[in-house]
Amino acid sequence: MQASQPILAASNLSLGYQKSKQTKPIADQISFSLEKGKLTCLLGPNGVGKSTLIKTIMGQIPAISGSIFLNGKPIENFSQKALSQKISVVLTEKITTGTLNVRQMVELGRIPHTGWLGRLSGKDQQKVEKAIQTTHISYIEKSPLSELSDGQLQKAMIARALAQDGEVLILDEPTAHLDLVNRYEIMRLLRKIALEENKAVLVVTHDLEIAIQTADQFWLMQCGNPLVTGSPEDLIIQEKLNLLLPTDKLIFDKVSGKVQELDVFEYPVFHGPQEIVDWFKLALRKNKLDISKTGLIISLQLAPFKGTLQIEETTENFESIEEGILLLKTRFGKGFQ
């Protein structure tokens, strides 16, 4: 199937910083195409160069080599104003302009269209209103920014970027300070915006599990290697997510969809439903309990929970996973290494 025309594209880009006459290379072999209507997540370890890539896309720093194309034209051909009409960005720094209220901050999103002193036209007001509605923040539109929770502030920042009305929306770690429910909510909101408003949304995140649940595309950035792109599902079955991990310690388990510590021992024989067996194994792993050569059989059942340890002729019962682990520790050693 033919992919739709990307709004942003780059081929074999090298990124880095220029200080006096010295170049500090950060990443190379960066090729991508960002499409409208899709939520794309950029993932990679700390320091690999994700923010550097964002700064390069925004035209804040030049690429060492290669070009980024916006609607088929090199971004260096766009003025900063033209670029900010096309690309809206939400960075990680918190806005601390205490006196502004939410609506006033969202209105600032129109500056690329009106100029600093420009009055908001009816169309500008409509864009602001729509951004407030989409992000469900009407109830706090009069609140000063200093009185917002991190989740509310993040939504207000997204609203400001929406009011800016670029075709591309870029967010650097928008869920960094949020609780689990808000992290899901923000990512679902961003997917909805991509889909319903036909924007190309690019999100830098470390939230692998939430990104798997919400993103249409992944960009995986790893030190010294080309950017790997594709749908999360395809990258999972191709075992590409392990590129993000130190695979001597951690591994992405494609069945559970979670990152797991690499097993350092074999498990004993287990009987029981997989969903409890897996949680029992996690507790064994965390406690580093090597009971592989003990001839032990562990039987587990749910609702009501019942666990049995069987070794040769002896059986012992336990009422919870915690109690089972305690029993094993008492019988087979300290466990902690």
Residues lying near ligand ATP in the complex (CB under 6 A) are found at 17, 24, 26, 44, 46-52
Nearest approach, Cβ of residue 30 and ligand ATP (Å): 12
Distance CA(196)–CA(266), nearest Å, equals 49
Cβ nearer to ligand ATP, comparing 48 with 296 = 48
Q: Are 188 and 207 in contact (CB under 8 A)?
A: no
Q: Are 27 and 221 in contact (CB under 8 A)?
A: yes
Name residues whose C-beta falls within 8 Å of residue 221's C-beta, 6 or more positions apart in sequence.
Answer: 27, 30, 42, 43, 44, 48, 49, 50, 53, 227
Cβ nearer to ligand ATP, comparing 10 with 48 = 48
Residue 14 corresponds to which tokens in the numbers above?
A: 């090298």
Nearest approach, Cβ of residue 207 and ligand ATP (Å): 12
> 57: burial class by Cβ within 10 Å (0-12, 13-18, 19+)?
buried
Nearest approach, Cβ of residue 221 and ligand ATP (Å): 7
Cβ nearer to ligand ATP, comparing 10 with 128 = 10
Cβ nearer to ligand ATP, comparing 176 with 277 = 176
Nearest approach, Cβ of residue 57 and ligand ATP (Å): 12
Nearest approach, Cβ of residue 84 and ligand ATP (Å): 20
Cβ nearer to ligand ATP, comparing 219 with 280 = 219
34: nearest Cα among 51, 53, 19? 53
> 282: burial class by Cβ within 10 Å (0-12, 13-18, 19+)?
middle
Distance CA(232)–CA(212), nearest Å, equals 6
Three-class DSSP category at 166: coil
Paired residues of 34 in beta bridges = 8
Distance CA(110)–CA(21), nearest Å, equals 37
53: nearest Cα among 36, 19, 77, 29? 29
Cβ nearer to ligand ATP, comparing 17 with 305 = 17
Cβ nearer to ligand ATP, comparing 165 with 172 = 172
Q: Are 300 and 307 in contact (CB under 8 A)?
A: yes
Nearest approach, Cβ of residue 261 and ligand ATP (Å): 22
Paired residues of 320 in beta bridges = none
Nearest approach, Cβ of residue 292 and ligand ATP (Å): 37
Nearest approach, Cβ of residue 17 and ligand ATP (Å): 4
Cβ nearer to ligand ATP, comparing 49 with 268 = 49
